[in-house]
Amino acid sequence: MPCYINQVVQAAELLGLDPDTKAEMLREALQAAAGFKWGEHAFYTYDLVQEVIRKYSPDQDPYRDLKKKFNQICLDLEDEVNLIINGSKDPFQTALRIAIAGNIIDFVKGFKMDKHTIQKTLKEALDQKLDQQKIDLLRQKIEEADRILYVGDNAGEIVFDKVFIQQFDGRKVVFAVRGGPVVNDATFEDAQDAGLTESMKVITTGADLPGAMVGLSSKSFKDAFDAADLVISKGQGNYEALSGENKEVFFLLKVKCPVIAESLHFRYKVGDIVIDDLK
């Protein structure tokens, strides 16, 4: 809940609203959040809060300029990243580590992020401990799958997803982005800016939620989900949305808060990068 309210405050700042309007927007968001139902998935509450942001920005995406900035930063790093991958002993694993590390790009945690921060995180990811059995299993599942649904997360980060997908047959990949603006999550426009639409099929979830809730998504997303032999899920939001699905799903994320660490039974701590099928 605090994260949801923080997003309202950030959106109000980015929209340049005057103090009185900011206060009214925050009051409405708090009232909306009070409509949560115990036991209901948190994304239903998030949608209530998101409705307030939509009201105050009906024709604009508060995070659009920041998303474009980070798409460009990551595109500028693409050649450097490819040199690292191609020069490594195991390009698949190196590209996988870089893709997961890209999940650091999250404006909910604040705006103090730049090219240097991303470079540092990518470098650290090359040496972080990961479950080698899970890496090998994912490699095997990718090779065996005829249809892969890759559910993206943040703008900028999707550049590194693209680089990872280049390590296998991208023709069997359907890449999913959000159906509308929501924080810094990638939309179809971001996928175009990052060059994904040039090399793979890109669809949207049909919903402006920070995770691919199948029950709240479009028919095209549901069809792609049902048809997939393997789902690769990026980020915490998609983990929250898809961890209960009866499907072959691999979760790739960076643990950013204690709540997620707890939900993963403390097998990982805040700051860890994760590759796990939860089996």
- The rounded distance, in Å, linking the Cα atoms of 77 and 165 is 16
pLDDT band for 259, please (50, 70, 90 cuts). Answer: confident
- In degrees and rounded to multiples of 5, residue 234 shows phi and psi of -100, 135
pLDDT band for 166, please (50, 70, 90 cuts). Answer: very high
Q: What is the pLDDT of residues 93-130, one digit of tens each?
A: 999 999 999 998 876 554 567 889 899 989 999 998 89
Q: What is the pLDDT of residues 28-81, one digit of tens each?
A: 989 888 877 665 677 777 778 888 888 888 777 888 988 999 999 999 999 999
**Total-model pTM:** 0.88
Q: How many Cβ atoms from other residues are within 10 Å of residue 1's Cβ? A: 13
Q: What is the pLDDT of residues 7-36, one digit of tens each?
A: 788 888 888 889 999 999 999 989 888 877
Evaluated on CA atoms 53, 2, 118, 173, the torsion sign reads negative
Q: Which residues of 38-56 are buried (b: 16+ CB within 10 A; e: fewer)?
A: eeebbbebbbbbbebbeeb
Q: Identity (one letter) of the amino acid at 54?
A: R
The predicted pLDDT at position 13 comes to 86
- The rounded distance, in Å, linking the Cα atoms of 242 and 78 is 29
